[in-house]
Amino acid sequence: MAYENIIAEKKGGVGLITLNRPQALNALCAALIDELAHALDDFEADDDIGAIVVTGSEKAFAAGADIKEMKDRTYMDVYGQDFITKGWGRLATTRKPTIAAVSGFALGGGCELAMMCDMIIASESAKFGQPEITIGTIPGSGGTQRLTRFVGKSLSMYMNLTGEFIDADTALRSGLVAKVLPNAEMLDEALRIGAKIAGMSRPITMMCKEAVNRAYETSLAEGVLFERRVFHSTFSTEDQKEGMNAFAEKRKPSWKHR
Ligand code: CAA
């Protein structure tokens, strides 16, 4: 499929998706979301790909849902189509690990898209915000929910109720992002992390991701039980044998499933 709003390319074992609608600061129009979902399907099905990085431009990761596209919709339009579910959630349901590499604005749906990834790597220029309140609406794709779980109630309320942005440092301190780097180094670092993950055993990384995500969906006791059961099941894989034998034999593991 030829894309008009994104660029999808392989960087070794990493699938790199670049949001590419510079004239609108990567505002997430329906066509872009469709293309993103399509590229994610392709990378998920591609055995060569072990991790996926989603990035934007230096000025904007994404400035949110496309306001001009949605502004005249009626309640029945958005309710009837369950607007913002179709396509948008695809990033949150990938089984392979995902990294958002964020420079510039990550606002509204852009911040929500970044939060659907497994981790966010940011550059010093990154700005995160949920400014929907300033245009007479509220977040529609996790901005009141994921953000609150990641940064806590007070900072989430501040961002959601004022629409003010936070900088990369604040995002780092609050746990929204994993790392902050100079602009010129950020994407390389995200790709390095992606390549490192892609170099691990594929089923074990997927199981690990499932276990971490469980922490957001269940009680601590249930989550720890789920983790233990998945831990047990790793012992049925060839890669657990290979990984532990390689350690004992002082050599690098050669994973069966990559
Ligand atoms: N939708 C549509 N177009 C957008 C856009 C958006 N979210 N964000 C920026 N653009 C367009 C602008 O309209 C402008 O287009 P024109 O040149 O045709 O006028 C172009 O991108 C450049 O933007 P600006 O001139 O505004 O650039 P700036 O540097 O002065 O400001 C900005 C940057 C602060 C990000 C500002 O563009 C802005 O506030 N954007 C909207 C942010 C926002 O409210 N996002 C939330 C959207 S709602 C949502 O996402 C709902 C949800 O939960 C899913």
Whether residue 258 is predicted with pLDDT greater than 90 in this model: the reply is: no
29: closest CA among 135, 110, 100, 92? 110
Structure tokens at 100: 């958002």
Q: Which of 20, 21, 25 to mutate to test the pocket of ligand 1 (most atoms within 8 A of CB)?
A: 25
Q: Is 109 in the pocket of ligand 1 (CB under 6 A)?
A: yes
Give the confidence band of 109 by pLDDT, cuts at 50, 70, 90: very high
Per the DSSP assignment, residues forming a β-bridge with 120 are 100
Counting other chains too, the contacts that 3-6 makes at CB distance below 8 Å and 24 or more residues apart are 3/35, 3/38, 3/39, 4/31, 4/35, 5/29, 5/31, 5/32, 5/35, 6/32, 6/35, 6/36, 6/39
| pLDDT for residue 76 | 95
| pLDDT for residue 85 | 78
Whether residue 86 is predicted with pLDDT greater than 80 in this model: the reply is: no
| pLDDT for residue 88 | 87
Q: Is 239 in the pocket of ligand 1 (CB under 6 A)?
A: no
Structure tokens at 96: 């392979």
Whether residue 82 is predicted with pLDDT greater than 90 in this model: the reply is: no
ipTM over 0.95: yes
* Mean of pLDDT values over 32-55: 97
| pLDDT for residue 20 | 98
Shortest-distance Cα residue to atom 12 of ligand 1: 24
**pLDDT (tens digit per residue) in 141-199:** 999 999 999 999 999 999 999 999 999 999 999 999 999 999 999 999 999 999 999 99
Domain ranges of the chain: 6-198, 201-249
> Which has the minimum average pLDDT: 87-91, 95-99, 227-231?
87-91
Residue 171 known to be catalytic = no
Give the confidence band of 133 by pLDDT, cuts at 50, 70, 90: very high
Residue 211 known to be catalytic = no
| pLDDT for residue 55 | 98
CA of 81 to the centre of ligand 1 (A): 23
Structure tokens at 192: 């390095």
**pLDDT (tens digit per residue) in 223-249:** 999 999 999 999 999 999 999 999 999
Residue 109 known to be catalytic = yes
Whether pTM exceeds 0.95? yes
| pLDDT for residue 187 | 98
d(CA 52, CA 142): 21
Whether residue 1 is predicted with pLDDT greater than 80 in this model: the reply is: no
Q: Is 14 in the pocket of ligand 1 (CB under 6 A)?
A: no
Superfamily, domain 201-249 = Lyase 2-enoyl-coa Hydratase, Chain  A, domain 2 (1.10.12.10)
Q: Is 19 in the pocket of ligand 1 (CB under 6 A)?
A: no
Q: Is 116 in the pocket of ligand 1 (CB under 6 A)?
A: no
Average pLDDT, the chain: 97
**pLDDT (tens digit per residue) in 10-20:** 999 999 999 99
Superfamily, domain 6-198 = 2-enoyl-CoA Hydratase; Chain A, domain 1 (3.90.226.10)
Give the confidence band of 87 by pLDDT, cuts at 50, 70, 90: confident
d(CA 127, CA 129): 7
